Structure 1
């Protein structure tokens, strides 16, 4: 059973989320604040975290940073904050998705299913289990990236994007294909998400992120991995 940790201080919303997810056979734990959330995350090891940013004891971005110190579990932000800089701050801290309130429950469940899919290992084509460049190496079976002798921490979304690109070396992967594969059809027009995540990957992997050698942009079309 997929287990979800809901971090939200609105009891009515928590009740609605719990009822909806339990009806779809998810296991659900709920935390009303950040401190409880971090304790439950360590104890229950959820498969996905749904997190409000406006918590009574600490900012949700700090919860994301604390979680990213030890886990790659998908984190979906659920917040009334709509400002672009708020979204970017949450994504940069390690969130994998950002849903603004009010929201459609059906859309939220679709994004939850997409988050779960991203954590599942997909079949790999023979010969593409290991990728080596002058800057970093990727072990697709172990889901591990090493740069300068050190492991590179990637969120599940960053990993999924990288995996798609490196298993199609030298080929253009369109924006629409990446959006469908990683975020589902509901995000078909959200190219800003791609830009944010590709920028994060370049900061972590490229020697000069502003002039990428490996994660190449095809303007207006998509991205290509050059090994």
Structure 2
């Protein structure tokens, strides 16, 4: 199956160049200008494996587009880096990006970066043919929506399971509290960010041997939460 890439950029020449390059390398490619709703429609329609974002940073437009993307997708996002500026890199990462593509584009490096990001997303955790995430002492069955902890089933609510599955599918990736709220509770928009903290607390009570010193779900002070990537074999 061909992997899908979406390119979001107001630079028509850059879009045309990237689309042709990626098509030639065997990807399915879609593109649109920097309008958050256009990007949202493409993502919801095509379910991309990776998104390339070329927008001015830092800016309210970039924040809006990133926020919209992160509400509906946890797939890798690569920013086009025109300036090689550390402050912009920090902004991009905090906005939900996963990496940067330097301008001018080095074709082979770009392809390598894209493949590495997709491979990291899909293969950084152990998944067998039954679509089960396997970690020491923990088994998350994505099809049956069950969780086994040291051989015993942990009874999770629907939202607790969604949280655990999202974090476990992305080891070592830091999810901001707001991002988790938008991804898990986007349909309802009820409650506030404390909802995430309450569910993380409850989830730890059910899967962690010592919830005060968690093995699986770590707090990243000032940012949010991540799944312990050291457990990935």
Give unmatched runs, 5+ long, in structure 1: 133-137, 163-201, 217-222
Matched residue, 1:47: 49
Matched residue, 2:76: 74
Matched residue, 1:159: 170
User: Residues 55-85 of structure 1: CA distance to partner in whole angstroms, max 9, x if unpaired?
Assistant: 9x96223212211112111111113143222
Structure 1 residues 81, 130: closer, same or farther in 2, change over 3 A?
Answer: same
Q: Distance in 1 between matches of 2:168 and 2:100?
A: 12
The Cα shift of 1:17 comes to: 0.7
Give unmatched runs, 5+ long, in structure 2: 148-155, 174-213
Q: What is the TM-score of this pair, normalised by structure 2?
A: 0.56
> What pairs with 1:1-227 in structure 2 (closer than 5 Å)?
1-35=2-36, 36-54=38-56, 59-121=61-123, 123=126, 129-130=134-135, 139=139, 142=142, 150=160, 151-152=162-163, 159-161=170-172, 205-206=217-218, 209=221
Structure 1 residues 2, 224: closer, same or farther in 2, change over 3 A?
Answer: closer
The Cα shift of 1:47 comes to: 1.3
CA contact (8 A) 1:119 1:156 kept: no
Q: Distance in 1 between matches of 2:165 and 2:64?
A: 18
CA contact (8 A) 2:50 2:118 kept: yes
Matched residue, 1:168: none
Which structure has the larger Rg? 2
Structure 1 residues 14, 58: closer, same or farther in 2, change over 3 A?
Answer: farther
CA contact (8 A) 1:5 1:30 kept: yes
Q: Distance in 1 between matches of 2:122 and 2:99?
A: 17
CA contact (8 A) 1:61 1:89 kept: no
Q: Distance in 1 between matches of 2:83 and 2:169?
A: 23
RMSD: 4.1
User: Residues 91-137 of structure 1: CA distance to partner in whole angstroms, max 9, x if unpaired?
Assistant: 12221111232231211111011122123245469xx82457xxxxx
Matched residue, 2:203: none
Aligned residues: 168
Q: What is the TM-score of this pair, normalised by structure 1?
A: 0.58
Q: Distance in 2 between matches of 1:104 and 1:140?
A: 39
